[in-house]
Amino acid sequence: MAKFIHRQRLPNVENTGFSPNSAIEGGRLINRDGNINIKKTGIPIFDRLSLYHVLLRMPRWKFLLLVFGFYFALNILFATAFYFIGIDGLDGATLQETQMNQFLTAFFFSAQTLTTVGYGHISPVGITANTLASFESMVGILAFALVTGVFYGRFSRPKAYIRFSDQFLIAPYRGATALMFRLATFKNNHLTDVDANVSLAMHVLEEGVLKTKFYTLKLEISKVVSLALSWTLVHPINEESPLYGFTEQDFKDNRVEVMVNIRAFDDHFSNTVQQRSSYTYQELVFGAKFLPMSRLDPSGQYTLLELDKLGEHERVALPKVNEIR
């Protein structure tokens, strides 16, 4: 199979950070959301977990749930302590008929202390209750400081807000073919000096051993000044390409994975942002081209970018290139 001989002449990339050892790789290397498909073991979870990273990447609803759960748990904890100190440590408590009501009084007093709202219709009496209340209000302040920090961290975290087309295409291109996919920013952010880096991983049999080989995919344009509209990344499949002569089946047989890294400068964060993604052979459309996704607004005053059309393509026949078989 000439095409494989051909490919072997191309330079491998050896510094991807991934292993050339296929035997340790299961599934894709990079997930669609950009996370690396790796798990770390061998040291305790608290050592290998950056709480900040976790809190920052959590979906919003989970984060809010966690905050309220934490608030609830802290209150239960302090309420229990106040309950065991004895409800006469809390002056003005008015719900004391049952033990449940005593606990609820302690709970609400705890909430008032933790949030520093401190209405005062319930107030601590005696050294133990007072000490505990002093401690709790300080804990409240620290917890609040933490929450403020994480809120800000979540809110202000520089993100690229790039959306990629769901699939990548092998499309006709200048008499031959090219690998293409499309991306656009989907928020009211604006990226400049956008750099794309696309590489390819494939599993090949070399001397009886399955190896993972990495190649750089050269792009027609690999840097745009501004990501104003959408951007179609184009890798021409010519003799320089490791995909030269590949059929749809070849993509599958070699478990091809296209890895993308976008780096840009975000105007409003005034910071470098980066987003990664990857496509596997399962996300390939062999023989298709993207449809336009921007048009003039009816007002004639500005351009409309239609984000729902990001992945829209139509099936087309590919030119018959001299297949090397």
- Match 């759960």 to its residue by tokens: 69
Least distance to its own copies, CB of residue 269, Å: 8
**Residue 264 Cβ, how far from its own copies at the closest point, in Å?**
10
Chain mean position to CA 150: 17
What token pair was written down for 37? 């498909």
Given the complex with its own copies, which of 308 and 314 has the nearer CB atom?
308
How many angstroms separate the CA atoms of 133 and 127, rounded?
10
Shortest spacing between CB 90 and its own copies, in angstroms: 11
CB of 125 to its own copies, least distance (A): 7
Bridge-based pairing of strands 168-173 and 284-286 is parallel
Give the other-Cβ count within 10 Å of 107's Cβ.
Answer: 18
CB closer to its own copies out of 133 and 285: 133
CB nearer its own copies, residue 195 or residue 250: 195
Burial code (b: 16+ CB inside 10 Å, e: under 16) for 238-268 equals eeebbbbbbeeebbeebbbbbbbbbbbbbee
| 212 vs 205: CA distance, rounded Å | 9
Nearer to its own copies, 214 or 246 (CB): 214
Residue 197 CA, distance from chain mean position? 17
Closest approach, Cβ 130 to its own copies, in A, equals 4
Judged by beta carbon, residue 158 or residue 287, the one nearer its own copies is 158
